[in-house]
C-alpha cells in the first residue's frame, strides 16, 4: 500500500492511486458481513476491477454472538491487473466487534487501515473475546496500524432515528454504514448497492429507506470527517470489452450441467439432499428447469443417490451431489451403481476434517473417502477440479443471436445481443447500468442466448403440442 500522510484535523484530503487492495469485513454472522462483502464486490466489478473473493463463514452451528467461533468474514482483492487469489496480507480490516479484531488482526499489514466499531467494544463482548482490557485503548495498536475508532452503531441510529424501527432492526443496518464508509475510502460507486436495496426491500419501504440512509451516511462520514487524510482509487483493469459475470464454484458447476444437457440433448436428473456447502447447486439448477434439467430434493442422501441411479436406468444422465457426511451415506448406493453398471455422476463439495467435517471450510478432506470409501471391490473414476485460473478463460466461439439450443457460451464483443447486462454481470468499457428489474434481466439474459428446448422425448403428441405452445409463449415474453 502507498505511504500515507498522518491524519490532521482540517487537512486537505488527497486521492492516491493503487494497483490493487485487499479488504476484509469481519463481525458476527448477524452483522451481515457476507452481504457487505458481496455488495462491495459488486461495486468493484462495476468500477471495472479484476476481483477475487473469499467468504468465510463460522463452521460451528449457532456459535454464540461475540465469541471467536462465531466470527464471519468476507475478503476481497481487487486491482487494475489480473487478480488470481483473494490475497494474503490485508490493506484494510473492518472489525465490527472485539472477536473479529482478535481473530483477524494478525493478517493486517503493518501500517494497514484498521476500522473498529467502538460501540461493540463493551465489557460483555470483550470478555467473550478474551480481552482483559479494551485493545483500542492500547497505544501500540495505533502505532502499528492506522487505527480509526468509529461509533458505527451510534451514527447508524442517528441517521434513522425518525423511522419506525426497533433497536434490533436499527442495529442490523450498521453493516451498510461500514460499506458506505469503505466505498468512499476506495472510491467505489454506490449506485449498484442502492439499486440492490430498492429491489431487495421493494415490499418494505421502511427497510429500503433505512438501509439507503445508512449507506449514504457512511459515505458522507468518510467525506466530511477529519480523520481520513486521503482516500484511494484503483483504476479499471484492462480487459476485453464485453459482458462479465461474477461467478462462484457451485454456480459454475450448475451451469456446466446445463451446458452438458443441452449439447448432449439428453436430460439430466439431479437428486440431492440439502447440505452445506453443496446446497447452492440444487438451488441454482432448480431455477433453470426449462433447460433439460430436472431436480429432486429427496428426504435423505440415500434417496437422492438412488433417484439419480433410477434416472440413469431410464435413459437420463443421473447426477447427485453432497459433502463428506452425505458421500458416506451414499456409499452403498454408489456400490449398487458400480455392480449394476449404471452411469452415475457424483459431485463431492468437500469439507475439511474427518467425520462430519467443517460445514463451511473446505479443503482436500474427502479425497481418501472418494478413492476408497466403498464396500468390497467397487472402483470408481475420481476426477479433481481444474485450477480456478484455467476455468476463468472464456470459450472463443461467440454465441449467435438466436441459436437453436442453449450453449451458455461466452458472448464476444461482436455478438448481436441486447446491451442490458444480466444479474451478476458487469459491462466493461463503456460501463452502463441496468434500467429494469433483475428478474426481467435474468429472463432477457437467457432468451438472448438460449431458445426454449423441445419437449422431452416420449410424451404424447397432444401433450407435446401443448408444451411446445407454452414454451413458445414463454420465449416471446422473454424477448
Residues 50-67 pLDDT 10s: 999 998 888 777 788 889
- Over range 430-435, report the average pLDDT: 35
Q: Report cis status (omega within 30 of 0) of the bond before 474.
A: no
- 286 HSE (CA, 13 A, CB side): 10
Considering only CA atoms, which of 282, 358, 373, 359 is closest in space to residue 327? 373
What rounded mean pLDDT belongs to the chain? 79
For the chain, the straight-line distance linking the first and the last C-alpha, in angstroms and rounded, comes to: 47
Tell the burial category of 348 from Cβ atoms under 10 Å away from its Cβ (0-12, 13-18, 19+).
buried
Query: In this predicted structure, what is the pLDDT of residue 391?
Result: 56
Query: In this predicted structure, what is the pLDDT of residue 388?
Result: 60
Q: How far apart are CA 340 and CA 334, in angstroms?
A: 10
Residue partners of 166: CB distance under 8 A and separation at least 6: none
Of the listed ranges 324-333, 338-347, 389-398, 417-426, the least confidently predicted one is 417-426
Share of the chain above pLDDT 90, in %: 56
Q: Is the pLDDT reported for residue 419 higher than 60?
A: no
Query: In this predicted structure, what is the pLDDT of residue 203?
Result: 93
Q: Is the pLDDT reported for residue 315 higher than 70?
A: yes
Residues 176-194 pLDDT 10s: 999 999 999 999 999 999 9
Query: In this predicted structure, what is the pLDDT of residue 13?
Result: 60
Interior angle at CA 381, CA 378 and CA 383, nearest 5: 145
Q: Coil, strand, or helix at residue 218?
A: helix
Q: Is the pLDDT reported for residue 155 higher than 50?
A: yes
Q: How far apart are CA 307 and CA 300, in angstroms?
A: 11
User: In this structure, what C-alpha cell is assigned to residue 160?
Assistant: 434513522
CATH numbers and ranges of domains, the chain = 14-234 (3.40.920.10), 249-388 (3.40.50.970), 396-478 (no CATH)
Residues 208-231 pLDDT 10s: 999 999 999 999 999 998 888 888
Q: Do residues 52 and 84 touch, judged by C-beta distance below 8 A?
A: yes
Higher pLDDT, 442 or 206: 206
- Sequence-ordered alpha helix ranges (H) in 132-230: 139-144, 152-159, 167-171, 174-185, 191-200, 205-224
Q: Coil, strand, or helix at residue 255?
A: helix
Q: Which residues of 39-58 are buried (b: 16+ CB within 10 A; e: fewer)?
A: bbbbbbbbbbbbbbbebbbb
Query: In this predicted structure, what is the pLDDT of residue 359?
Result: 80
Residues 245-254 pLDDT 10s: 778 889 999 9
Residues 255-292 pLDDT 10s: 999 999 999 999 999 999 999 889 999 999 999 988 99
DSSP secondary structure letter of residue 357: -
At 469, the pLDDT band (50, 70, 90 cuts) reads: very low
Question: What angle separates helix 301-313 from helix 324-340, to the nearest 10 degrees?
Answer: 30
Cα 99 to Cα 131, 152, 290, 458: the distances in Å are 9, 16, 46, 59
Query: In this predicted structure, what is the pLDDT of residue 425?
Result: 47
**Concatenated DSSP letters of 286-309:** GGGTTSSEEEEE-SSHHHHHHHHH
Amino acid at each position: 500500500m502507498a505511504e500515507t500522510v498522518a491524519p490532521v484535523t482540517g487537512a486537505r484530503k488527497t486521492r492516491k492511486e493503487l494497483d490493487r487492495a485487499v479488504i476484509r469485513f469481519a463481525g458476527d454472522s448477524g452483522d451481515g458481513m457476507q452481504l457487505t462483502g458481496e455488495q462491495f464486490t459488486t461495486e468493484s466489478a462495476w468500477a471495472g476491477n479484476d476481483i477475487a473473493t473469499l467468504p468465510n463463514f463460522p463452521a460451528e452451528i449457532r456459535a454464540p454472538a461475540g465469541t471467536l467461533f462465531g466470527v464471519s468474514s468476507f475478503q476481497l482483492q481487487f486491482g487494475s491487473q489480473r487478480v488470481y487469489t483473494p490475497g494474503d496480507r490485508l490493506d484494510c480490516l473492518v472489525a465490527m466487534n472485539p472477536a473479529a479484531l482478535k481473530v483477524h488482526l494478525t493478517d493486517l499489514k503493518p501500517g494497514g487501515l484498521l476500522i473498529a466499531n467502538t460501540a461493540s467494544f463493551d465489557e460483555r463482548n470483550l470478555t467473550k473475546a478474551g480481552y482483559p482490557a479494551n485493545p483500542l485503548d492500547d497505544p501500540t495498536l495505533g502505532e502499528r496500524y492506522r487505527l480509526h475508532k468509529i461509533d458505527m452503531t451510534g451514527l447508524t441510529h442517528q441517521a434513522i432515528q425518525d423511522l419506525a424501527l426497533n433497536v434490533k432492526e436499527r442495529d442490523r443496518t450498521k453493516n451498510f454504514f461500514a460499506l458506505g464508509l469503505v466505498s468512499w475510502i476506495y472510491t467505489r460507486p454506490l449506485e449498484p448497492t442502492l439499486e440492490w436495496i430498492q429491489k431487495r426491500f421493494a415490499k418494505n419501504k421502511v427497510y429500503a429507506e433505512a438501509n439507503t440512509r445508512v449507506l449514504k451516511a457512511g459515505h458522507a462520514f468518510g467525506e466530511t470527517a477529519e480523520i481520513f487524510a486521503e482516500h484511494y482509487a484503483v483504476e479499471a483493469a484492462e480487459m476485453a470489452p464485453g459482458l462479465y459475470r461474477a461467478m462462484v464454484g457451485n454456480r459454475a458447476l450448475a451451469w456446466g450441467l446445463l451446458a452438458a444437457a443441452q449439447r448432449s440433448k439428453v436430460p439430466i436428473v439431479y437428486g440431492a439432499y440439502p447440505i452445506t456447502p453443496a446446497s447452492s447447486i440444487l438451488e441454482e439448477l432448480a431455477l433453470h428447469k426449462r433447460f433439460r434439467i430436472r431436480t429432486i430434493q429427496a428426504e435423505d442422501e440415500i434417496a437422492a443417490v438412488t433417484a439419480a441411479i433410477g434416472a440413469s436406468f431410464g435413459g437420463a444422465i443421473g447426477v447427485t451431489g453432497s459433502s463428506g457426511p452425505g458421500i458416506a451415506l451414499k456409499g452403498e448406493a454408489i456400490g449398487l451403481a458400480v455392480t449394476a453398471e449404471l452411469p452415475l455422476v457424483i459431485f463431492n463439495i468437500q469439507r475439511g476434517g474427518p467425520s462430519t467435517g467443517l460445514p463451511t471450510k473446505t479443503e482436500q478432506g474427502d479425497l481418501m473417502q472418494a478413492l476408497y470409501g466403498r464396500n468390497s471391490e467397487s472402483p470408481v473414476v475420481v476426477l479433481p477440479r481444474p485450477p480456478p485460473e484455467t476455468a476463468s478463460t472464456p470459450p472463443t466461439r461467440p454465441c449467435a443471436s438466436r441459436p437453436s439450443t442453449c450453449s451458455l457460451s461466452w458472448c464476444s464483443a461482436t455478438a448481436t445481443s441486447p446491451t442490458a447486462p444480466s444479474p451478476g454481470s458487469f459491462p466493461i468499457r463503456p460501463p452502463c447500468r441496468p434500467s429494469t428489474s433483475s428478474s426481467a434481466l435474468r429472463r432477457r439474459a437467457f432468451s438472448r442466448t438460449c431458445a426454449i428446448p423441445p419437449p422431452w422425448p416420449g410424451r404424447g403428441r397432444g401433450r407435446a403440442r401443448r408444451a411446445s405452445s407454452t414454451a413458445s409463449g414463454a420465449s416471446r415474453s422473454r424477448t
